[in-house]
Structure 1
Amino acid sequence: MTTTRSRAGTKGVPRAHREQQILAAATTEFGRRGYEGASLAAIAERVGVTKTLLHQYFGAKQDLYLACLAPVGERLLGAMRAAMPDGAGAPDAPLAVLRAVFTALDGAREGWFVLYDTSLPPDGEAARAAGEYRSAIDRLAASGSADVLRAAAPPGPADPLDADALSYAWRGLVTALVHWWIRHPDQSPDAMAQRCVRLFAVAGTVFGRA
């Protein structure tokens, strides 16, 4: 028989729903303030519960961070893998991957900054788990960058560092775009993807003249 305690959180809210509220609030707090600056008190206040309830549901601060990190990391990896073309060098691959990233982050845009948090304690479980997700994403970005360069490169020997530089540029680009996206909450993932199409077309024209 299911007890009232197992079915509901405070004030009659079902436990599963309350957990999702807490995770959404914690993702926002960690994403905006970083692990070091985030506080359980602020997260509890966002949800309208007590710190004691947070501890009952998720344990310590690191445990709550990990509970926020895992869904973000899994969604991003799954979306990027699905968007990567089967054949190398598809011309629309970079935009398809960007669209997938925006779609995966929709509803939890600060999740990108949970994943790429520079304030994590360097020797802790949180940093290790985030590092594994980042490494997996970086490997996908490196593979995609290499494919794009092979398809677009002129005849002659290629610089082996170009793909590495492009991977770093890709991460920086996504970070900047998500920053902008958070400041414009009315923009949908599709609108962001279409904006990237326009911006890349302009950039290609400008740099093509160089």
Structure 2
Amino acid sequence: MTEARAVGTKGMPREEREAQIVDAGTEEFGRHGYGGASMVEIARRVGVTKPLLYQYFGSKDGLYLKCLHRAGDRLTEGVASTMAAGGAPEQMPLAVLGAIFSTFDHDRYAWRLLRDTTLPSTGEIARAAADYQQRLDEFAMIGATQLMNARGLTDGRDIEAIALVWTGVVDSLISWWINQPDEDADAMVERCGRIMKNLFGW
């Protein structure tokens, strides 16, 4: 006997309706930022009422947090798994990019939630966003340290600067990719591989 699932509007299981709302919310927040996003527009995209959004998530903050945690957890888990698998330091940057592109291939605006400059400066959302950012910065430092140490560079401040450059490169590449709907994750990895080979000889 199968377990009965809670039913949302129009007979749709609640978890499926929530997933639809999170999908729509992620795109709306990604396009317009926390500050400019409209709960009315999110409800319209899903075909539900605005009160239903508040019934499910409590507030705009509640929905944003749900979208942010989904994006941040997927990303940090994917990058962590890729780095834990090991491999040549020179190949790790492309492998990490591949993990990011695969994570967001069908959810590209999710990346912007992790870089949203319109977020409140205090509160739960600010803390969650800062936590994900710290984790990503730590990954960048680990990768930069491994890569530079393999090349004989051990100066800590040089490595910090390289990690900062790397995070900027990643952000720029993904921002460009978001606007290329015909370029899937595999194609983007191939493109980045060509770029790295020509720029760095990797």
The TM-score, its normalising length taken from structure 2, stands at: 0.91
Matched, 1:187 2:186: no
Partner of 2:74: 75
Cα–Cα, structure 1 residues 152 and 65, in superposed 2: closer, same or farther, change >3 Å? same
Alpha-carbon distance in structure 2 between the residues aligned to 1:182 and 1:90: 27
> What is the deviation of 1:78?
0.9
Instruction: Name the amino acid aligned to 1:71.
Output: R
Query: Contact 1:89 / 1:147 at 8 angstroms: preserved in 2?
Result: no
Partner of 2:174: 178
Partner of 1:128: 127
Query: Contact 1:89 / 1:150 at 8 angstroms: preserved in 2?
Result: no
> What is the deviation of 1:172?
1.3
Q: Deviations over 1:86-124 (max 9, x none)?
A: 668522111111101111112211111101111111012
Instruction: Name the amino acid aligned to 2:147.
Output: V
Instruction: Name the amino acid aligned to 1:103.
Output: S
Alpha-carbon distance in structure 2 between the residues aligned to 1:86 and 1:61: 38
* Residue among 184, 192, 204 paired with 2:200: 204
Alpha-carbon distance in structure 1 between the residues aligned to 2:159 and 2:85: 19
> What is the deviation of 1:33?
0.7
Which segments of 5 or more consecutive residues in structure 2 lack a partner in the other structure? none
Partner of 2:117: 118
Count of matched residue pairs: 199
- In our comparison, the structure showing a higher alpha carbon Rg is 1
Instruction: Name the amino acid aligned to 2:199.
Output: A
Alpha-carbon distance in structure 1 between the residues aligned to 2:180 and 2:85: 33
Matched, 1:18 2:17: yes
Instruction: Name the amino acid aligned to 1:141.
Output: A
Matched, 1:168 2:164: yes
Partner of 1:62: 61
Q: Deviations over 1:11-67 (max 9, x none)?
A: 222221111110000001111111111111111111111110100111101110110
Q: Deviations over 1:124-170 (max 9, x none)?
A: 2101111011101111111111110111236xxx4321211122112
Cα–Cα, structure 1 residues 89 and 151, in superposed 2: closer, same or farther, change >3 Å? farther
Instruction: Name the amino acid aligned to 1:75.
Output: R
Q: Deviations over 1:169-207 (max 9, x none)?
A: 1221111111111111122211111110001111126xx
Query: Contact 1:9 / 1:15 at 8 angstroms: preserved in 2?
Result: yes
> What is the deviation of 1:85?
5.1
Alpha-carbon distance in structure 1 between the residues aligned to 2:42 and 2:88: 44
Alpha-carbon distance in structure 1 between the residues aligned to 2:11 and 2:53: 16
Alignment of 1:24-173 (within 5 A): 24-84=23-83, 90-153=89-152, 158-173=154-169
Instruction: Name the amino acid aligned to 2:134.
Output: S
Alpha-carbon distance in structure 1 between the residues aligned to 2:86 and 2:174: 28
Alpha-carbon distance in structure 2 between the residues aligned to 1:151 and 1:29: 42
